[in-house]
Amino acid sequence: MTAPILQDVLAAVPGQQLEMTELAPGVPASKENLATLWAHVQKNEGVKYTFPNGCAVYLTSPNSIHRTRVDLRAEVLGPIVTTGSGEIRCHTRPRLCIETHKNTPEGLLQCFRFAKQSLRQYNEQGLCSNCRSEDMVIPPWRKLKAVGMPYCADCMIVAIMSPPEADALQTPAKRTRRSRDSPSGRRSPDASQRTRRSRD
């Protein structure tokens, strides 16, 4: 779910789509070079590549029920986190985003582009700070912030659709009366006791 949203957002922001005519400086994204790297990837069902920022990319092409590896998946993982409490602790990498392409040289290029774009977005914007409850899932999910926004796309959508808070629905008269009680509009029990004592 996360991957299509990320791609949709990137597609909608001019200049954000990563062009990849070169695999690396001086190394063109030619058919020959991609075929060489794709053949290397086929030697294993999955390989994890780590990066200096602590993230990792897990490239997998799992066997399907028909024993043919039709898909190539790029799973972007964050730096290792510790979850659980007490004796039950788990050191694991959270998932940041996943995208699946055809298990072909062209699909490998799509995986490279997706992983590179995701890691760049991680470096530039970091992770959504609003998704901590996802720690209960194993492995936990951490989501990249939506481009130019303070939270991930899912948290943004929840915030956008949330109804206004109860106070905002009060009539103007009620709001005025409540705002006289205390700056926040709610009088705490301690505050009311202090008021009574001062009157005595």
Which lies closer to Zn ion via its Cβ, residue 111 or residue 155?
A: 155
Burial of 71 (0-12, 13-18, 19+ CB in 10 A): middle
Peptide bond before 14: cis, by omega within 30 degrees of 0?
no
In whole angstroms, give the CA distance from residue 117 to residue 42. 23
For Zn ion, give the closer residue by CB, 70 or 131. 131
End-to-end CA distance of the chain: 62
**Residues 6+ positions from 35 with CB-CB distance below 8 Å:** 105
* Binders of Zn ion in range 114-133 (CB under 5 A): 128, 130-131
Q: How far is the CB of 121 from Zn ion (least distance, A)?
A: 14
The three-state secondary structure class of 8 is helix
Q: Shortest approach of Zn ion to residue 133 CB, angstroms?
A: 10
Closest distance to Zn ion from the beta carbon of 131 (Å)? 4
| Shortest reach from residue 130's CB to Zn ion, in Å | 4
Q: How many residues belong to the site for Zn ion (CB under 5 A)? A: 7
By CB under 5 A, the residues from 127 to 166 that bind Zn ion are: 128, 130-131, 143, 151-152, 155
Q: Which residues would be at the binding site for Zn ion (CB under 5 A)?
A: 128, 130-131, 143, 151-152, 155
